[in-house]
A and B are shown apart, each in its own frame.
Chain A
Amino acid sequence: MSDADTPVLEVRNLTVALPQDGDRRNAVSGVSFTVKRGEIVCLVGESGSGKSVIAQAIMGLLPKTLPVASGEVLLEGEDVTKVPTERLRQLRCASMSMIFQEPMTALNPVMTCGEQIDEVLREHTALSPAERRAKTIDIFTEVALPDPERIVGSYPHQLSGGQRQRIMIAMALVLEPALLIADEPTTALDVTTQAQILELVRDLQRRHGMGVLFITHDFGVVADIAHRVAVLRLGTLVEMGDKNTVLKNPQHEYTIMLIGAVPTLKPHGRAVPADAPLVLETRQLAKTYSDRGWFSRRGEVHAADDVTLEIRRGQTLGIVGESGSGKSTVARCIVRLIDPTRGEIRIHGEDIARKPMRALREVRRKVQIVFQDPYRSLNPRRTVGEAIIEGPLNYGLPRAEALERARKLMELVRMDPAVLERYPHQFSGGQRQRICIARALAMEPELLVADEAVSALDVSVQAQVLALLEEIRERFNLAMLFITHDLRVAAQVCDRVAVMSKGKVVEYGEANEVFLRPSHEYTKALFAAAPGRDFVFGAG
């Protein structure tokens, strides 16, 4: 069937229907592209663009509610949308493999990693148990897992996120398929782990000469890994071409907008008033978790240790770090959602670190927080109006005035005040995050904590929300604590930056200093790992 000239994958006029009540007719309409042997094609798009639907259509994994309406998917010349189920099953993993976004949930938690590879070999080959084990260890070694002999018997929960993604890659590649589909494989990973996984994918792709269809929303990743790029918008392909052409000279207005919305790594360099009054100071703040089992005592975890920071009125302090660095622990201590173990938290000079819950009432009004996931941080059974006015009502504001305030705030966050009667599920992620911001502002806080508040948003929406936060900070002269793992986002909003690693602040200073002249090894490593660092995006 296949010779050197046949593309590994050819998608012709693919159309996937949406159910009747969907927000558009087709999830994907009339999409055509090819992936050649030894080539990485990036499929880029925002959420809802249909990029994952295309991946699942190729693998034959679409749910029954999303049928392929027309078109062909040729895998080495064979149309996989029309083959019988049994043939499709044989092709999976052997000719086409897929790796997924969430390494935490994509592996079976009650099966050892070795067994999960072994069942692929047992299903698709006639190897003996000893040969299968040898092959498993070989592939674990190839994806650079430490101590493969041990990992064969390990369960997924005993491994880190990066290691789990390596297991997924090993599973996908153990039969040397011609096509690898990677669906946002690094999105859930830390930036340094992401850099390693991208390197691994590129390396394996070169060594095995596979075709790779790489799905991502991140132009930084595209800049790092792609040969060719296809840009999707609402189920249609708007632009396709060579990486450098698309990134440097985009033709379609949507591509231009998307690339323009990617924040630059250059700090904004705004002048910071150094003599404004201090709003927040933490001194040697620490949070220790002691983990005790029934029969065993398992040591202590220093989630945050010796954290000393300050924020002045009108200033934004960013805490940057990877998962487990303690950045969210610090934010939660400051808001007193969790109790710090040691140290001081001063709000306007008053230490609240050990205040009992009852005495925190006044502090709660002054300090408000916006969380990462706008889908889960609003009560689905209350209207957004109720969510916004609940706090002010609780502090004694008459209902009519609270509603008036809510309406003004909705205008401020660029939403129609008429929608206060609606429920959260009727809004998009970006709209919900605006509602969350309005809710926080309704308390008229002096310190606003944004805990990864834009991380779950698409890049174009992210740019709007960041601009909104900046406008609000300036207008109300707020002090803002901005927690993020994304260096680009930090560069856009922060006046001062604290870099955290393993519970400690390793570098702390003016954003300009930290970004342009990082001094700590860890900070340098973070910058080196930022995807697309050599590419200049956006306005800067």
Chain B
Amino acid sequence: MLATIPVLVIVAVLVFLLLRITPGDPAAILAGDAASTEQIEGIRKTLGLDQPLPVQFGIWALQMVQGDLGESYYYKVRVTELIAQRIEATFSLALVTIVVAVLISVPLGVIAAWRFGGWFDRFLMGFSVFGFSVPVFIVGYLLVWLVSLKLGWLPVQGYKRIDAGLWPWIQHLVLPAITLSVIYIALIARVTRASVLEALGEDYIRTARAKGLPESRVLIKHALANAAVPIVTVIGIGIALLIGGVVVTESVYAIPGLGRLTVDAVLARDFPTIQGLILFFSLIYVGVNLLVDLSYVVFDPRIRY
């Protein structure tokens, strides 16, 4: 649990250094094409980029431990405020995606394991290869073309905040969520299938059948309950990857979330914003992993920390 702190420190140092060794000068970009060398120099001074690297890092680190991620060069507002503005869209998308993925993939995986080797199992295995190999943007554009342009059922792109009403919020999230969930459905369904299949071979399944339980109860209460730990692990990894993966989807669907913010910040060489976002992503990553570890205790009483 205390391991989270060194992880965050290492991320902070790496991000800071990487940004400064990659080409691209934020001062030059801010000043525009027509600016003179003196103007650029002036901007560099105001931003504090003329200081030696250790001093720059020291200032940033000191702000950071006080919970301040600095001010964006480009938007001229606090980075924490920027993240706060964009977080709802990203979290809505991630949440709907993972809920859709789990609701679809877990039952699919269980049925495939139950009918191991049958047509359904083979279909699911085929689908998961498809899900793994088709790039997100292809699925995205295909869905937009079919559902929004041809059939006109859903809006093409954009985002409506949840306080504008549940229905518009959902309407705008359905397509991006399905797009994003394809790969997670493939991943979680495969892990569920393998894990349930293993559990079905155990002695306690034979016991459950010998007790005269209906097959549905054998599958859910006995097989799935024992298969939960690997499934929860992969769902956790899924959530963490999703937060990072929204960069592409938010671009395709023009959703003003953290993914779009990241792309814009990188293009503008907006150092404080990039640093802040990456630190924030890694914090979520570490946090989700911690929650997954702690959840094992609930799913398997034999695990104790």
Contact = CB atoms under 8 A, between A and B. Distances in A.
A98 B210 contact: yes
Contacts of B228: 110
14 contacts: A92-B211, A102-B203, A105-B202, A105-B203, A108-B225, A108-B226, A109-B301, A110-B302, A119-B213, A120-B212, A123-B213, A157-B302, A168-B207, A295-B305
Interface in A98-140: 98, 100, 102, 105-111, 119-120, 123-124
Contacts of A98: 210
A97 B208 CA distance: 11
Most chain A CB neighbours (cut-off 10 Å) among B204, B228, B304, B305: B204
B222 interface: yes
Main SS class of interface, B:
helix
B299 interface: yes
Contacts of A123: 211-214, 217
Nearest to B299: A110
A346 B222 CA distance: 51
Given A119-B217, A120-B212, 18 more contacts: A91-B212, A93-B210, A93-B211, A98-B210, A100-B206, A100-B207, A105-B203, A106-B203, A108-B207, A108-B208, A108-B225, A109-B204, A109-B300, A110-B299, A119-B213, A155-B302, A157-B301, A295-B305
A124 B211 CA distance: 9
Identify the 9 closest CB pairs spanning chains A and B, nearest first: A92-B212, A105-B203, A108-B204, A93-B212, A106-B203, A294-B305, A155-B301, A98-B210, A89-B212
A464 interface: no
A527 to B, nearest CB: 32
A293 interface: yes
A61 B209 contact: yes
B285 to A, nearest CB: 22
Nearest to B226: A110
A61 to B, nearest CB: 6
A94 B225 contact: no
A145 to B, nearest CB: 18
Nearest to B229: A110
Contacts of A70: none
Interface in A160-176: 168, 171
A333 interface: no
Contacts of B213: 89, 119-120, 123
Interface residues of B, number: 24
A30 to B, nearest CB: 26
Contact of A293 (B202, B214, B217, B305): B305
A59 interface: yes
B221 interface: yes
A111 B206 contact: no
Nearest to A294: B305
Given A119-B211, A123-B213, A110 B206 contact: no
A90 interface: yes
Interface size range of chain A in the complex: 20 to 34
A105 B222 CA distance: 13
Contacts of B225: 108, 110-111
Nearest to B214: A89
B99 to A, nearest CB: 24
B304 to A, nearest CB: 6
Contact of B221 (A90, A92, A119): A119
A291 to B, nearest CB: 11
Nearest to A296: B304
B210 A110 contact: no
Interface string A70-99: 000000000000000000011111100110
A79 B203 CA distance: 26
B208 to A, nearest CB: 7
Given A109-B226, A110-B226, A293-B304, A171 B211 contact: yes
Nearest to B228: A110
B195 to A, nearest CB: 13
B212 A106 contact: no
Contacts of A59: 210
Contacts of A94: 212
Contacts of B210: 59, 61, 92-93, 97-98
A126 to B, nearest CB: 15
Contacts of B208: 108
Nearest to A103: B203
Given A61-B206, A157-B301, A111 B211 contact: no
Contacts of B226: 108-110
Nearest to B300: A110
Interface in B181-211: 202-204, 206-211
A294 B214 CA distance: 40
A107 B302 contact: no
A108 B227 CA distance: 12
Contacts of A295: 305
A155 B297 CA distance: 13
